[in-house]
Amino acid sequence: MTARPPVKRIRVEEGAEAYSQTSAILRRLNGIPTEHVGPLQPRQGLGTLDPDKETLRLLPFQGEFLKPCPGTNEYICCGYQILHTGTNCPLDCSYCILQAYFNQPELRVFVNLETKLDQIGDHLDRNSEKLFRIGTGEFADSLALEPAVGWNKIFFPFLSKRMNAVLELKTKTVEVDGLLSSPWRERIIVSWSLNSHFIAAREEKGAPSVRKRLEAARRCQDEGFVVGFHFDPLIEHRGWEDAYRKTVDVLDDLIDPKGVIWVSLGCLRYMPLLKRVIRKRHPGSHILDREFILGFDGKMRYFKPIRIAMYAFMSKILSQWHDDLGVYLCMESDEIWQRSLGWSPENSEGLSRYLDQRAAKVFGMTY
């Protein structure tokens, strides 16, 4: 049974009342105290560091809804397109980048997205030669609020008419009931962020265990969904090899590797600003203990040999599970690709091509 998200109050921002998505959400969350409010004034500086994960704010978003992932020239980017459904999520992972956006607290849902889908559709149609890999999991967990927001009812029919787009829903949760009850499967990827059991238990507060996530993935696979996995962030900790091997063992137990579209690997990285936030909000966390250096993109990342060792190990154990998982690295250099995986797409265009081909093969698309 689907649980309602742990929302204690709802704030309907000025202008949000006009959208049917607002009514639908309020209906699903009937009984939760609701107030109508003006726009939130952004906080400046570190402030109280309270992300207020118990308040759901429904608001119209004035910016671009579909945007390319903000990769950098210095590292190879996958060329993903972000569908901006909202920001923040009820989980509280110690490493979460969203903690740096402390000037925008609360669980923010952009209720006017539905009215912009035609524009997005036009954009996809105008670029019919291009395959769009679209995801909603960049600024929020794709499924954490799904029982309340029901995006699948909006996105899936939209996607069913778009032959040049795949939609990836990235999550750490088990909120898949809405998806499973929908009739749509084509060009939809449900993917899970995975980690070692140790990291999941200590650093991913509020998230289900790795096994529970993979049981949800199994249900999706059984019901005809294509699935993906993201070992991101990989975190160096005592006994990490065995710890990550155990996660792959659970994958082996529960998941049919032939139905996996891709598996990404990305070592922990963070904006320098986030360090103080992590120390204050998660004093027991040890994720910052290992050797970090300042990368070319201005983020802190593990010293090169650590990253190479972790990727090489993960690649090895994943290939022992199955030899065609579409393993790729997130935001890494050509050198790291070569040294850890033994091959490289050379640049972001090459990686985009590789992932497009994976999608085309899995969904029988011609690209």
Partner 1 sequence: MNMVEIARSPIISLDSNAIQNDPGPFCMSYEPALGPLISSIQEFGLINPPIVVRQEEGRVDVVSGYRRILALKDLQLGEIPCRDATDSGLSSLQLLLLNLHENYVTREFNDVEKAMILARFVHYLSREKVIQSYMPLLSLPSRESTLDLYLNMERQTHTIKRALAKGEVSVKSFEALMDLEPGFRSGLIKSMLNLKLTFNQQLQFIELTIDICTRDGVDIPELFNQASFVGVMENERLNPPQKAKAILGHLKSIRLPRLTRSEESFRRAVSELGLPDGTQISHSPFFEGPDYRLEVSFKNGKQLKDRITVLNTLEKLEALADPWQDEER
List residues near partner 1 by CB under 8 A.
43-47, 276, 279-280, 286, 288-289, 291, 293-296, 303-306, 308-309, 312, 333-335
In the complex, the smallest distance separating the C-beta of residue 74 from partner 1, rounded to whole angstroms, is: 9
In the complex, the smallest distance separating the C-beta of residue 55 from partner 1, rounded to whole angstroms, is: 19
In the complex, the smallest distance separating the C-beta of residue 17 from partner 1, rounded to whole angstroms, is: 28
Long-range CB contacts (within 8 A, 24+) of 23-28 = 24/150, 25/56, 25/58, 25/109, 25/111, 25/148, 25/149, 25/150, 26/58, 28/4, 28/147, 28/148, 28/150
Number of other CB atoms surrounding residue 246 within 10 Å: 15
* Closer by beta carbon to partner 1, 68 or else 305: 305
In the complex, the smallest distance separating the C-beta of residue 303 from partner 1, rounded to whole angstroms, is: 5
Cα Rg for the chain, rounded, in angstroms? 20
In the complex, the smallest distance separating the C-beta of residue 35 from partner 1, rounded to whole angstroms, is: 21
Supply φ then ψ for residue 76, to 5 degrees. Answer: -85, 125
* Closer by beta carbon to partner 1, 249 or else 291: 291
CB 9 within 8 A of CB 56: yes
* Closer by beta carbon to partner 1, 32 or else 288: 288
CA angle 159, 161, 165 (to 5 degrees): 50
What is the H or E stretch that residue 66 is in? Answer: strand 66-68
Q: What is the DSSP code (8-state) at residue 2?
A: P
In the complex, the smallest distance separating the C-beta of residue 287 from partner 1, rounded to whole angstroms, is: 11
Spatial neighbors of 345 by CB under 8 A, at least 6 apart, are: 76, 328, 337, 351, 353, 354
* Closer by beta carbon to partner 1, 18 or else 49: 49
* Closer by beta carbon to partner 1, 9 or else 304: 304
* Closer by beta carbon to partner 1, 32 or else 309: 309
